[in-house]
Amino acid sequence: MNWRKPAYLSYASLRGYRFPSFLAQYSREYEGGVGPDTVTRALSQLLRHCRHAVPYYAERFQGIDSTHLEDADPREFLLRLPIVTKETIRAEFVKLQSTDLGRRKWSYNTSGGSTGEPVRLVQDREYDDRSAAIGLFYNWLLGGEVGEPVVRLWGSERDLEGGTKSRKARFFNWLTNTTWLNAFLMSPERMQEFIQSLNRLRPRLIVAYAQAAYELARFAEGERISVAPQRAVLTSAGTLYPFMREKIATVFGCEVYNLYGSREVSDIACELPGLDGLWVAPWGNYVEIVDEAGRPAPPGTEGNIVVTCLTNYAMPLLRYWIGDRGALRPDDALAEHPGPQVLERVSGRSVDVFRTRDQTLIDGEYFTHLLYFRPWVRKFQVVQKAQEHVLFKCVQANGGPSRSELEDIAAKARLVMGADCRVDFEFPDDLPPHPSGKYRYTISEVSA
């Protein structure tokens, strides 16, 4: 009997969190069949809020006949609004915030995204709760019911800095049956320990950085370490290339699913058993695919992904240019899953793995975290030039960094790269994308 689920969800409800009720709602609606009206209602409500309470959008509505918004198809109306980019967020940061922000519980967040250009966001408690519910819902669809054993091969900066998990964190990990493995520091010794943990725990679900799961699988294969057949792997925080999926599935002996999301809008879509593509949770986001000029691309045609977050009223993002490319499946291909959207494919983020002299693997995501919440960083790229040489390239904004900040970044880089690692900084005027059009925000020039 899984007593942890009711215990955890009841405790969270008593503490004032709403994600347990949202999770119950989403489960009921999914099992009853989610129709297109779910997105229609959410979009209509969000558009009305933006027209009345968000100055940036209120100004744009003035040039559009919105008197009959309640009767219009919100999808068609949305097309008449401009696309929002990171530049828009930086330039219109105050105007994008809802005028009722003072009555909301909210917090700041930041994202580097796939372009390496940090942007600050305002997100409210409703968004947090609904995002948490959607994350738990996806896990449930993949067999990872709340309270069943889950292993998270994820990044933990606190562990690297010698800290310890708080008593509260340890309690929730115990209550939810969650075991954390640090993807930011994967030495051969630690990877052996990770595999031992997987063999002992046999979790219902492994949630992992795509690159970390791939490197662990490759290590196990190369060292001929036996891995007990696992039940399911869910990857995120990086592009899951076909060769990575094949390796993970072969070594771990289970299906591998991909989760697509971002800090700006949380989880967007997830692969599900028996579904070809990534199912877009209709309670969280609405997706468009547009060409380079911002015009809608035909279903099945690859283009730029534009996302409207349906849950964050504190700082709504309508038609947000997320920086990745993908394609939506045509409606006539969705007979088994009518209503919600399905992303046929997603191509985007590229995170390299850095290697130390003793062959410890450091996920490139670690270095992007070192530059979050730093207002002077407009755009960045971190390059491993040699086993003991890391170069931070930062395009500056809002003045330059202090010496103490650079020393802090360098010290944290040496935590994982070694005390003798040379850490340099360059401040170019710009960082152009790769000739392919994709921007790599971490690059390793060290061969395996």
* CATH fold group of domain 353-444: GMP Synthetase; Chain A, domain 3 (3.30.300)
Question: What pLDDT digit, counting tens, does each position of 388-437 carry?
Answer: 999 999 999 878 899 999 999 999 999 999 999 999 999 999 887 654 44
Nearest to 233 by CA among 128, 330, 132, 142: 142
> Which range is least confidently modeled, 89-93, 117-121, 127-131?
117-121
Residue-averaged pLDDT of the chain:
87
Give mean pLDDT, residues 102-131: 84
Residue 189: partners with Cβ closer than 8 Å, 6 or more residues away: none
What's the mean pLDDT in 295-307?
A: 89
Banded pLDDT at 116 (limits 50, 70, 90): low
Looking at the DSSP assignment, which residues form a beta bridge with residue 342?
279
Mean pLDDT of the region 79-92: 93
The residue that leads in pLDDT, 435 or 270, is 270
The fraction of the chain above a pLDDT of 90, given in percent, is 60
Q: Please give the pLDDT value at position 220.
A: 94
Residue length of the chain: 448
Select from 172, 148, 133, 134 the least CA-distant residue to 231.
148
Domain ranges of the chain: 1-349, 353-444
Domain 1-349, architecture per CATH: 3-Layer(aba) Sandwich (3.40)
pLDDT at 72 over 80: no
Note the pLDDT of residue 432: 75
**What phi, psi does 221 have (nearest 5°)?**
-65, -45
Token pair of 288 as six digits: 């468009």
* pLDDT tens-digit series, residues 219-245: 999 899 999 999 999 998 877 878 889
* Token pair listed for 35: 């129709």
- Residue 417 burial (CB < 10 Å; 0-12/13-18/19+)? buried
Strand partners, 258: 235
